[in-house]
Amino acid sequence: MKGKEDLESYLLKMALPFEQIGPDMWNVNADHENLVISIAGPVVVFRTKVMDLPEGNREALYETMLRLNTTDMVHGAFGIEDKSVVIVNALELENLDYNEFSAVIDDFGLAVSKHYPTLSRFRAAA
């Protein structure tokens, strides 16, 4: 059965600096800020903040995020958490291998770098 030791070994193999911030939670310094990986029961949850949610022009932002979810997001999806735009993904811990783990982290970094310029324009338009 896979557990937190497996996730830590994947992080070490990827040579990513990380800090354990809870019993089953890690803050990872990847190509993007605040990638948090946590174990929640039988799943591993990946979450990274993209930007603060703008005060205005939200309908257009939501439509853009939904379109990106269907066309450009391989692993995870854009969403809203509190007052932040985030990318989230959840995968079964039992079946999670190194290749899938690293693909999620790589795709999150690519999504942030590729889509932040588009999404950040909504902050300026607010």
Give pLDDT tens digits along the chain (126 positions): 789 999 999 999 999 899 999 999 999 987 656 899 999 999 999 999 999 999 888 999 999 999 999 998 888 999 999 999 999 999 999 999 999 999 999 999 889 999 999 999 998 655
Just give the CATH number of 4-124.
3.30.1460.10
Q: What is the dihedral sign for C-alpha 91, 93, 95, 99?
A: positive
Question: In whole angstroms, what is the distance from residue 91 CA to residue 76 CA?
Answer: 10
- Smallest CA-to-CA distance from 39 within 23, 21, 55 is with 23
pLDDT tens figures, 85-104: 999 999 999 999 999 999 99
Q: Write the DSSP symbol of residue 73.
A: -
Q: What are the residue ranges spanned by the domains of the chain?
A: 4-124
Q: Pick from 65, 29, 61: which is nearest to 48 by CA?
A: 29
Residue 56: what pLDDT? 87
Predicted TM-score (pTM) of this structure: 0.91
Q: How many whole angstroms separate alpha carbon 49 and alpha carbon 47? A: 7
